[in-house]
Amino acid sequence: MPGGGPAAQAPAPAYGSAAQGSPTPEGGPPPDGRPAPQAPAPAYGPAAQGTPTPEGSPTPEAGSRPASTPEAPQAGPGPAGTPPPGGSAPEGFGPPPPTAPPHGTPAPPPGPAYGPPSQAPAYGGYGAPGYGPPPGGPAPSAYGPPELLEPPAAAPAPPPAPPEPLRPVAAALLNLTGLGLGYVLVRAWLPAVLCWAATAGLLLIALPADVDGVPGGLLVGYLALLVLAAADAARRARRTALAWRLRAPLAAALGVVLLAVPAASAFAYEAARDEAVEDMLLERLDEADRLVADQDGQDFAGSERAYRSALDTYRDLVRDHGGSRAADRVPDRLDAYYKAVARPYADGRYCQAIAPLTYLRTLPDRIGENRLGRLATWPDDRLATSLYECGSAAVDRGDGTHLQELLTTFPDSDAARKVVPALGAAIDDRTADLKGPDPCSATEKLTRVRAVAASLPGGKGGSLTARAERAVQSGEYACGVDEFKDGQFTEAAKRMRDYADTYKASGKRERARTIAIAAEVAAERPQAGRKLPAQRGPGSGQEFVVKNDGASAVEVLFTGPATGTVKLGACAGCTPYASRAEGKSKACKASRSYPQKTLRLPPGEYHFLYKRGTGGTGLVRDHSDGTTVQGGYRYTDCTYVVSGGLGGIGGLSPRT
């Protein structure tokens, strides 16, 4: 090839074609003084590059062949202006490379291009070319005049993403987690923020977990919001590509996995709420325990309301919250509850223990026998024992209520079998006391024991009642005698009269009546009660005539060597006397028949009591007097009424 080796090829740019240009002689200005034309901006795709002629190389003449260039590799297009074998231009991006001129025609120099000047090596070397047109003026371009390119317009909106079935599903699932990740996936930031705000608001309301939990309306509204957000995210994902080059199947799988977050959160919240409920129930249990502890040992009447309140708490825990820790502790608490209520029994205060133990026996109906277990019958023996002990102590008071309840409620209990023997022993003990210093007290106790024995249900006290009756009869007589000796004449008189009226078959009836007469006289005339009267009535001795000069009947009681009583009828036409002196001078001396009785009294000192009831003169005061009966005399005693003083109250004066 003339002029030396082959022409050097300029390296092709990475994207687009390099502009062709002609070197300018070093230091030479452009011919016309204008700036060198700029190479055009590279276009998309490779372009052919011009081949500069080495400086000093001869220009091919007409008729000569162009310098040959080596063939480009087959793997891709060669340098600009170098056709592949066979003469066809390489395919690619950018304008086609210039073709070689016909044989014999000199190759025109490459025309200027827009863009920065191309660099061409000189004689196989590399260096920066000079600026400006080649010497001799600008060469015409092989493609005609240069074309001015306008700056590229704004990038158009990206086309809708190709349809992908799992993409809406993934967005919906991610939004159902409540984390707004479906919106994040499609780059919808404002709805994502709204989802975050809704979830944060729910957490602020729900946490910390309490007994009431989240209001139902709020929870329904939040779930509806999640469903709407899921639907909206699915709608957006149909026409929007996923962010972060995340494939739809992976996003859908991530959504399924993240659904465990709200599910686990719900379970965790429910567990926290259950724990709050447990704490609340335990606190209620503790309050009931404190209430029971405060009432322990107190009087049940004043503590019953508190005990009932604590029991209601225990019952509600077992009935309404079975399976809770508080309910599981109730059986142990009931043990303490029963012991606190029954504290009087443990302290030996049996009468005070009856009411609380009776209350405890009602609990199986309120709580349930199966829930109480052994506690259902726990109070029975204790109550039976309390009824027996308290009832035995009440026998001397005549109160058989507790013994009756014992025999009725627990007839087969050990305590019930003790009742009859205990009453028999009580009768024997009180009977022995009749010979003691206080027979009246023993008699009263026997009377009460008899009442208790008679009140026993089922005829269980029949034999005891008969025994007690005989003991009481003996006690009444012994008590009357003791009262007479103690100077309690009024009480002795009444007791002995009652004895004589009650025990008519008794061998001591007459003796009791004698003592009663003497006691009545002694009540008005104490010297008559210096000793018990002799058991002797009138019938032998001195004649003693008693007459009545009064308008009302009179009863004359006397005691002494003989004791008795005589009754005289009213004197018809008799009137009271104005004074005692008038009565003594005129009584029983009128020519009329006076009611009279004649007695035979042994000699001795006698005491009389004149008991006059009501008559024509109204109320008349009783009168007592005494006299001595001597042998060999006949005595006349005239009773009369003296009026005088306020109210016309007079008195009786015996006359001898």
Tens digits of residue pLDDT in 506-523: 999 999 999 999 999 999
The per-residue pLDDT for 115 is: 46
Q: In the predicted model, what is the mean pLDDT of the chain?
A: 75
Q: Does the pLDDT of residue 368 top 80, yes or no? A: yes
Average pLDDT over residues 316-344: 90
CA atoms within 13 A on the CB side of 207: 10
What does the pLDDT look like over 56-95, one tens digit per residue?
444 444 343 433 333 434 434 444 444 444 444 444 444 4
Average pLDDT over residues 566-571: 92
Average pLDDT over residues 149-168: 60
DSSP notation for 558-573: EESSS-EEEEE-PPTT
- Which amino acid makes up residue 569? G
Binned at pLDDT 50, 70 and 90, residue 188 comes out as confident
Structure tokens at 109: 């120099």
The per-residue pLDDT for 275 is: 78
The per-residue pLDDT for 530 is: 92
Binned at pLDDT 50, 70 and 90, residue 231 comes out as confident
User: Which of the pair, 426 or 119, is modelled with greater confidence?
Assistant: 426
The per-residue pLDDT for 194 is: 86
The per-residue pLDDT for 172 is: 78
Binned at pLDDT 50, 70 and 90, residue 306 comes out as very high
Q: Does the pLDDT of residue 393 top 70, yes or no? A: yes
Structure tokens at 7: 């022409």
> CA–CA separation, 238 vs 165, rounded Å?
8
Helices (H) and strands (E) in the chain, counts: 20, 7
Average pLDDT over residues 377-394: 95
The per-residue pLDDT for 120 is: 43
Contact 386, 394 (CB under 8 A): no
Binned at pLDDT 50, 70 and 90, residue 565 comes out as very high
Contacts of 567 (CB under 8 A, 6+ apart): 553, 554, 555, 556
> CA–CA separation, 77 vs 47, rounded Å?
9
Core vs surface per residue 292-302: b (16+ CB within 10 A) or e: beebeeeebee
Report in angstroms the alpha-carbon separations of 416 from 259, 362, 386, 387: 72, 21, 11, 9
Average pLDDT over residues 173-198: 81
The per-residue pLDDT for 467 is: 93
The per-residue pLDDT for 473 is: 95
User: Which of the pair, 183 or 326, is modelled with greater confidence?
Assistant: 326
* Residue 548: its H or E element: strand 542-549
Q: Does the pLDDT of residue 8 top 90, yes or no? A: no
Average pLDDT over residues 373-378: 91
Determine how many CB atoms are found less than 10 A away from the CB of residue 594. 21
Cα 24 versus chain centre, distance: 105
The per-residue pLDDT for 66 is: 39
* Residue 219: its H or E element: helix 216-237
The per-residue pLDDT for 233 is: 76
Q: Does the pLDDT of residue 599 top 70, yes or no? A: yes
Picking from 51-55, 259-263, 305-309, which range would have the lowest pLDDT averaged per residue?
51-55
Binned at pLDDT 50, 70 and 90, residue 386 comes out as very high
The per-residue pLDDT for 209 is: 64
Q: Does the pLDDT of residue 347 top 80, yes or no? A: yes
Binned at pLDDT 50, 70 and 90, residue 158 comes out as low
Contacts of 260 (CB under 8 A, 6+ apart): none
What does the pLDDT look like over 450-495, one tens digit per residue?
999 999 998 888 899 999 999 999 999 999 999 999 999 999 999 9
Contact 66, 60 (CB under 8 A): yes
